[in-house]
Amino acid sequence: MNRVTDRGFWIESEVPLANTNEWSIPLWLLWAVSEGQPADLGSASPLLASNLETLRDIYVAWTGGRQIPVSYEISSDVTAPASGVSLFFTAGVDSFHSLINHLEEIDNLVFVHGFDIPLADTEIFAHAEAHARETACLFGKRLIVVRTNMRWERPEVPVLTNKRWEWPHVPCGWEMTHGAAMAAVAHALAPNHGKVYIASTYSYSELLPWGSHPLLDPLWSTEAVRIVHDGGETRYNKLRLLAQHPEALARLRVCVDCMGSKNCGLCEKCVRTMLGLRSIGVERCVAFPDTLTPTLVRQQELKENTVLHWRELLDAGLPPELNSAVRSAINSYKNGLPVRTGYFKRGVKRWLYAARNAGKVLMSPIDRS
């Protein structure tokens, strides 16, 4: 097993890894912005160095971090890109879409233990890895398995050494930092590829501050590894492509509750995906249990980063009862109401919500102009 380490962070894999500190630059830049500490990032390639201040400014704007000074040395030893193209792969809708779109070009599927699945969950990861390995074999690709402690292992007390925090933990929350973590893995794997695809989460019409973003991902590139943010299509259109490939559709793994090779059919992400499939005419997908009902749809608790996907489903061809349930779930989120679990509780909350808003109107100043 090969391993690279830097002040608490580590990445390991059976394949060759890059023996430079460049892979940890994304992590320490984010940490410095989050903690307001000066960022001494060491040696960076000319291309990456030219983008570091722009990356800092974007993260400051999106996370409320501090405009810390960034210092680095421009490396005079520029590594030529290795042959090979990789894709970060989770077996979800986005990564399957990128795999199919670039099937002839992609050589490697990168599957990471320590991102979605905690390092301690070895049994769950074993199932997920077997599932990914079967998929890689089916599509004729090499599976590169990586382990890292970037997300889940956190010592209780950080240590300040030479004005640098030693804490294997990325700041700002995983939603904002997972793109930098993927960039770190991409650079650690530099001997295995010269180009890496990161599948998009949102379409170009839905963009919001997010850790993997078309504005951010390419800026982490170096002369040795080009990082590409791939796929600005809506999830609806991605599913339409997957529906033409039953072998991919049957192997979808989207569940955030099970995290292994199965989908629970009950969580928000499972329900959202099943609704998308139903909207394009896929009545049953073997990757999901037969759980989709209007009641289950109404019970989903949406968030700011998920409601965008649900709005795509409105009037997208769903049966009337499911379309109405989608509208109900969106309205519950929009109006701050509890999900549809019972008429009494929801009715009381609606009354309180109306009373609170009426009070705001009555207490607002009168415009006498």
The predicted structure's pLDDT at residue 64:
87
Q: Quick one: pLDDT at residue 341?
A: 56
52 near 84, Cβ under 8 Å? no
Name the burial class of residue 52, with classes exposed (0-12), middle (13-18) and buried (19+) by CB atoms within 10 angstroms of its CB: buried
Measured distance between the N- and C-terminal CA atoms of the chain, rounded to whole angstroms: 75
Q: How far apart are CA 293 and CA 266, in angstroms?
A: 10
Residue 201 pLDDT = 94
Number of Cβ within a 10 Å radius of residue 312: 20
Cα gap 36→211, rounded to integer Å? 19
Give CA–CA dist 28/190, Å, rounded: 19
Within 5-121, residue ranges assigned H as helices are 25-35, 46-63, 93-101
Residues in the chain with pLDDT < 70?
A: 153-171, 259-261, 340-369
> What does the alpha-carbon distance between residue 158 and residue 188 come to, in Å, rounded to a whole number?
24
Predicted confidence at residue 155, as pLDDT, reads 41
Domain borders along the chain are 2-230, 235-334
Residue 209: is it exposed, middle or buried by C-beta count within 10 angstroms (0-12/13-18/19+)?
middle
C-alpha span between 50 and 44 (Å, rounded): 9
Q: In this structure, how many other beta carbons lie within 10 angstroms of the beta carbon of residue 290?
A: 10
Q: What integer pLDDT is reported at residue 365 of this predicted model? A: 53
Residue of 100, 87, 98, 92 lying closest to 252 (CA atoms): 92
Cα separation of 293 and 284, whole Å? 13
The rounded Cα 102 to chain-centroid distance in angstroms is 20
How does strand 9-13 pair with strand 142-148? antiparallel
d(Cα 329, Cα 229) in Å, to the nearest integer? Answer: 30
Q: Give the pLDDT of residue 173.
A: 82
